[in-house]
Structure 1
Amino acid sequence: MSLLEIDGLSLEIHGEPILRNVSMQVEPGRVLGVIGESGSGKSMTAFSVLQLLPNGSQCRGSISLAGQDILSASEADLCSIRGRVAGMVFQEPMTALNPLQTIGAQVAETILVHERVPRSEALVRAADALRRAELPPEKFPLTRYPHELSGGQRQRVVIAMAIALRPKLLIADEPTTALDVTTQAQILDLLKRLVVEEDMGLMLISHDLAVVADLADDLVIMRSGEVVESGPAHGLFRKMKHPYSRALLEASGHVPERNSAAQEQALLRVSNVIREYQTHTHGWWGRVAQVRAVDDVSFEIRKGESLGLVGESGCGKSTLTRAILGLEEIQGGEILLDGTPVVSHHRVNRDVRRRMQVVFQDPYGSFNPRWRVDRLITEPFHLLDGPPAGAERETAIVEALESVGLSADDSRKYIHEFSGGQRQRIAIARALIIKPDLIILDEAVSALDVSVRAQVLDLLAGLADRFGLTYLFISHDLSVVRSITERVLVMKSGRIVEEGPTDSVFDKPHHAYTKQLVAAAPVLPADVA
């Protein structure tokens, strides 16, 4: 008998169909990968298992978990099942954790909710759960708060909460989306180890086939609330039948076409740049220490070139980006655009700054939700001495939107009316509107579905050919960097440890850190259809 069996599940929310005749099952000790793009229904299927659905939801069909009928269970029974029989790992650990409680208290709370045990015993068991999640209390005391941990460590705390009561089923909803490749590999290895050691069933939800390729025993591919294909993972990868499955597979390895070639002349030259911070070693009143976030970094980007910058969180990528844009003061070295300093006499050179723009990782967070698109994408006009007005302004807005595949009518809408991919197009339009020479893309496609990511990469390649743009592409996703850049820099602990042509660096890395990154990157099986 299956641990989890979903048969003919249909879901409506306020009469709107969300899921249609969904069937899948999870066996003890096996991993089920549920793959699909945003809106495919994969998360709603997971929420249906635990009945964590919004008001107005109505389910039909059947869900059996460890022999218990979920759809007929009372709320009291469901409260007993959540955490004890099935645990859940959510996509964003910082929002899943309480910033005002220690990690020990939050893991212990899972135990105290379900069992009448002394708090001291709950804390001992919390320490054990954190140890099983590879956060040993001797290195990560129970008294730490979430903000004192890295993204991967916070995700381990969420996993510890989910496994504290040793549930039979673990549901992991996009558990590695925003993580570095090495941290992502560690989290996936941890989940696999827990499945083996605890004989748990794992339902792993992801939008990326490559992430689950080495982990899943079985696969379910969903689209628009329906299962379009399912079966054993190895066989499914070798012979995908449904056009949507094959489209996802092709998008995972998509390489955009680019026709223009880089010039010999350097556009941006970074020479021996140093950026240091002061920090307190033990709280606000502790000893002051110097932290060198960027340590003697030098490189150049040629006109028309796409240069990749890769490295884990904390390596200094974002600090270096802010320094290039004149948003961070540097303690040594110089940054020149076409031979002119970005910062002169402690002031940003506006003539230089207007020639550089940035596209951020989270477009929704980088926009004011109260402004319409026309006002959002004209923000860079403040860098111009004579910003366009009237009909000239409207023409610039329309040209920017149409250049990224949107329409003039979109200028009157608000940002919440667009999908994630459309928001990123709007962010690119904002960067383009003052016709810069250099665009810095900071994790600009890391959170997008693979097909949307492929579309945005094609868009960027086309814009580079059309407008002669130069890109600095910052990402932790090596497959993205490989597909769109000619050269790559590898950054670790504030220093550039390796650089060269992208294919050469990734195919034959020399530095041990680069080898570690390449080995950790998820890849599709070599014999896929």
Structure 2
Amino acid sequence: MSLLQIENLSLSIHGAEILKQVSLSIDPGQIVAVTGESGSGKSMTALAVMQLLPNGAQAQGAIRLEGQDLLNRPEGEMCALRGAAVGMVFQEPMTALNPVKTIGDQVMETILIHNAMPRPQALARTQEVLTRVGLPPDRFPLSRYPHELSGGQRQRVVIAMAIALRPKLLIADEPTTALDVTTQAQILDLLKGLVREYSMGLLMITHDLAVVADMADQIVVMRRGEVVESGATTHLLRNMQHPYTRMLFEASGHQVSLPRAADPRPLLEVTEVTRDYRLPRKGLFGTPGHHRAVDGVSFALNKGERLGLVGESGCGKSTLTRAILGLEEVQSGDIRLDGQPVFAGHRPNLAVRRKMQVVFQDPYGSFNPRHRVARLITEPFHLLETPPAGSERQDRIAEMLTAVGLSPDDAGKYIHEFSGGQRQRIAIARALIIRPELILFDEAVSALDVSVRAQILDLLAELCATYDLTYLFISHDLRVVRTITDRVMVMQAGRIVEQGETEQVFANPQHPYTQTLIEAAPVLPDIGVNVA
């Protein structure tokens, strides 16, 4: 008998159809990956299993855990099952964890709330599961708070909470999307190890086939609330029948063709830049320590060149980005754009600042939801001495929206009326509207579906041909960096440990850290895929 059996599950919310006749099964010790774009119904299927559906939801069909139907279970019985028989790992660990409770208390709470064992045994089990997920108490005391851990370490705490009572079924909803490649590989290895060790079933939800290609036993492809294709992983990847599955596969390994850069001339020059942060005192009379986030970094970015910057979380990428933008003053070194210093004394040089723009990872979070698109994309006009007005302003808005593949009529809409990919197009339009000399893309496609990501990368290639873009592309996704940059720099512990032409660095990495990053990056296996 299957551990989890979903049969003909249909779901509507306030009359809107969300899921249509969804069926899948998971056996003990089996990993089943559900993949598809945002809005395909992946997460709603997982929430239906947990019976955590929003108000107004009506479900039909059957969801059976070891033969027991979950759809009609009273809430009290479902509370007893959640965390004990079924555990869930959410996408964003910082929002899944309570910021004012220690990691020990949060893991132990899962045990105590089910009255599984007395407190002394619960403490021992907490130490045991944290050790199992790679956070031994001798190195990571139970008294630590979530903000004292890295993103990967926080995700390990969430996994520890989910497995504290050794559930029969574990649901992981995009658990590695925001993680760098080495941490992602560690989390995937951890999940596979837990499945083997505890013989639990794992329902893995992801939008990226490459993440689960060598991990899942079965793959279920969803589109618009329906299962369009499913089967054993190797067989499905070799014999993809549905056009949507083929599209997802091709988008996962999408390549773009960048136009040749113009004759090189230095635009951005970073020379021996160092940035330290002060650490808190370890005692009342102790001397404050210092953390060196950027350590003697030097590089040059030429006009019309596309430069990538890769490295794990905490390597100094974001600190270096803020220094280039003039948002953080450095202790030593020099940053110049077109020969002019980014800092004028201890203040940002506004004459230089107006020549740079940035595109952030989360487009929705970087916009004011109360303003219309026309106002949002013209925000950089405040940097100009004489901003466009009247018909000139309207013409510039229409030109930029058209350039990024949107309609001039979209200027009157609000940001919530757009999809994630469309919002990122609007963010790019905002960055382009004052024709900056340099654009910094900070993880600009990391949170997007593979198909939307492919569209944004194609857009960047087109804009490079039209506007001769110069950009610094910061990302932990090596597949994206490989296709969208001319040169790449690898950063570790505040230093640039390797740099060179992108294809040369990827094909023949010299530094051990670069080799580790490339080996950790998920890739679609070359198994003679039939996509015809």
TMscore range, shorter length: over 0.9
Aligned counterpart, 2:29: 29
**5 Å matches for 1:81-92?**
81-92=81-92
Q: 1:53, 1:283 → 2: CA distance?
A: 49
* CA 1:413–1:28: 2 relative to 1, 3 Å: same
Q: 2:262, 2:70 → 1: CA distance?
A: 59
Q: 2:135, 2:291 → 1: CA distance?
A: 25
Q: 2:281, 2:226 → 1: CA distance?
A: 53
Shift of the alpha carbon at 1:398?
A: 1.4
Aligned counterpart, 2:93: 93
* CA 1:286–1:375: 2 relative to 1, 3 Å: farther
Q: 2:437, 2:500 → 1: CA distance?
A: 22
Q: 1:286, 1:366 → 2: CA distance?
A: 40
Aligned counterpart, 1:487: 487
Aligned counterpart, 1:221: 221
Shift of the alpha carbon at 1:117?
A: 3.5
Q: 1:286, 1:60 → 2: CA distance?
A: 64
Q: 2:176, 2:283 → 1: CA distance?
A: 30
Aligned counterpart, 1:277: 277
Aligned counterpart, 1:331: 331
After the TM superposition, which of the residue ranges 176-185 and 382-391 deviates more from structure 2?
382-391
* CA 1:65–1:278: 2 relative to 1, 3 Å: same
* CA 1:285–1:147: 2 relative to 1, 3 Å: farther
Q: Is the 8 A contact 1:181 1:517 kept in 2?
A: yes
Shift of the alpha carbon at 1:328?
A: 1.1
Aligned counterpart, 1:147: 147
Shift of the alpha carbon at 1:257?
A: 2.1
Letter in 1 for 2:194: L
Shift of the alpha carbon at 1:284?
A: 8.7
Q: 1:93, 1:283 → 2: CA distance?
A: 31
TM-score after normalising by structure 2: 0.97
Q: 1:284, 1:314 → 2: CA distance?
A: 28
Computed over aligned residues only, the root mean square deviation of the Cα atoms, in angstroms, reads 1.3
Q: 1:456, 1:252 → 2: CA distance?
A: 13
Q: 2:315, 2:72 → 1: CA distance?
A: 51
Q: 2:15, 2:296 → 1: CA distance?
A: 60
Letter in 1 for 2:435: K
Letter in 2 for 1:217: D
* Structure 1: 5+ residue stretches without partners: none
Shift of the alpha carbon at 1:292?
A: 1.3
Aligned counterpart, 2:112: 112
- CA displacement, residues 208-228 of structure 1 (integer Å, 9 cap, x when unaligned): 000111110100000000001
Q: Is the 8 A contact 1:94 1:146 kept in 2?
A: yes
Q: 1:300, 1:222 → 2: CA distance?
A: 45
Q: 2:361, 2:102 → 1: CA distance?
A: 29
Shift of the alpha carbon at 1:297?
A: 0.7
- CA displacement, residues 135-157 of structure 1 (integer Å, 9 cap, x when unaligned): 11111111111111110011001
Aligned counterpart, 1:466: 466
Q: 1:287, 1:271 → 2: CA distance?
A: 30
Q: Is the 8 A contact 1:267 1:301 kept in 2?
A: yes
Aligned counterpart, 1:169: 169
* CA 1:74–1:465: 2 relative to 1, 3 Å: same
- CA displacement, residues 237-276 of structure 1 (integer Å, 9 cap, x when unaligned): 1111100000000001111122232422111111111111
Shift of the alpha carbon at 1:286?
A: 5.0
- CA displacement, residues 298-345 of structure 1 (integer Å, 9 cap, x when unaligned): 111111111000001111111111111111101211111122212222
After the TM superposition, which of the residue ranges 38-47 and 325-334 deviates more from structure 2?
325-334
Aligned counterpart, 1:232: 232
- CA displacement, residues 19-47 of structure 1 (integer Å, 9 cap, x when unaligned): 00101111111100110000000100011
**5 Å matches for 1:278-357?**
278-282=278-282, 287-357=287-357
Equivalent residue of 1:154, what SS? helix
Equivalent residue of 1:258, what SS? coil
- CA displacement, residues 378-397 of structure 1 (integer Å, 9 cap, x when unaligned): 11111100111122211111
Aligned counterpart, 2:412: 412
Q: Is the 8 A contact 1:263 1:305 kept in 2?
A: no
Q: 1:262, 1:61 → 2: CA distance?
A: 60
Shift of the alpha carbon at 1:521?
A: 0.2
Q: 1:119, 1:457 → 2: CA distance?
A: 53
After the TM superposition, which of the residue ranges 476-485 and 130-139 deviates more from structure 2?
130-139
Aligned counterpart, 1:159: 159
* CA 1:180–1:281: 2 relative to 1, 3 Å: farther
Q: Is the 8 A contact 2:102 2:143 kept in 1?
A: yes
* CA 1:116–1:335: 2 relative to 1, 3 Å: closer
Equivalent residue of 1:172, what SS? strand
Q: Is the 8 A contact 1:35 1:222 kept in 2?
A: yes
Percent identity of equivalent pairs: 67
Q: 1:143, 1:286 → 2: CA distance?
A: 22
Q: 2:288, 2:143 → 1: CA distance?
A: 23
Q: Is the 8 A contact 2:173 2:206 kept in 1?
A: yes
Letter in 1 for 2:221: I
Q: 1:124, 1:266 → 2: CA distance?
A: 59
Q: Is the 8 A contact 2:259 2:464 kept in 1?
A: no
After the TM superposition, which of the residue ranges 203-212 and 134-143 deviates more from structure 2?
134-143
Q: Is the 8 A contact 2:264 2:304 kept in 1?
A: no
Shift of the alpha carbon at 1:48?
A: 0.6
Q: 1:282, 1:240 → 2: CA distance?
A: 58
**5 Å matches for 1:486-505?**
486-505=486-505
Q: Is the 8 A contact 2:218 2:231 kept in 1?
A: yes
* CA 1:284–1:20: 2 relative to 1, 3 Å: farther
Q: 1:170, 1:117 → 2: CA distance?
A: 21
Q: 2:365, 2:282 → 1: CA distance?
A: 32
Aligned counterpart, 2:256: 256
- CA displacement, residues 116-144 of structure 1 (integer Å, 9 cap, x when unaligned): 64333322211112112111111111111
Q: Is the 8 A contact 1:222 1:229 kept in 2?
A: yes
Equivalent residue of 1:371, what SS? coil
Letter in 2 for 1:512: P
After the TM superposition, which of the residue ranges 473-482 and 519-528 deviates more from structure 2?
519-528
Aligned counterpart, 2:3: 3
Q: 1:115, 1:287 → 2: CA distance?
A: 46
* Aligned length in residues: 529
Equivalent residue of 2:488, what SS? strand
Q: 1:48, 1:399 → 2: CA distance?
A: 44
* CA 1:116–1:468: 2 relative to 1, 3 Å: closer
Letter in 2 for 1:333: G
Q: 1:21, 1:179 → 2: CA distance?
A: 33
Equivalent residue of 1:229, what SS? strand
TM-score after normalising by structure 1: 0.98
Moved over 4 A (4+): 283-286
Shift of the alpha carbon at 1:282?
A: 3.0
After the TM superposition, which of the residue ranges 471-480 and 336-345 deviates more from structure 2?
336-345
Q: Is the 8 A contact 1:268 1:302 kept in 2?
A: yes
Q: 1:62, 1:349 → 2: CA distance?
A: 63
- CA displacement, residues 46-85 of structure 1 (integer Å, 9 cap, x when unaligned): 1111111011111111111122111122212211111111
Aligned counterpart, 2:446: 446
Aligned counterpart, 1:182: 182
Letter in 1 for 2:240: M
Q: 1:284, 1:28 → 2: CA distance?
A: 54
Aligned counterpart, 1:127: 127
* CA 1:506–1:281: 2 relative to 1, 3 Å: farther
Q: Is the 8 A contact 1:107 1:161 kept in 2?
A: yes
Equivalent residue of 1:280, what SS? coil
Q: Is the 8 A contact 1:270 1:336 kept in 2?
A: yes
* CA 1:217–1:515: 2 relative to 1, 3 Å: same
* CA 1:281–1:36: 2 relative to 1, 3 Å: farther
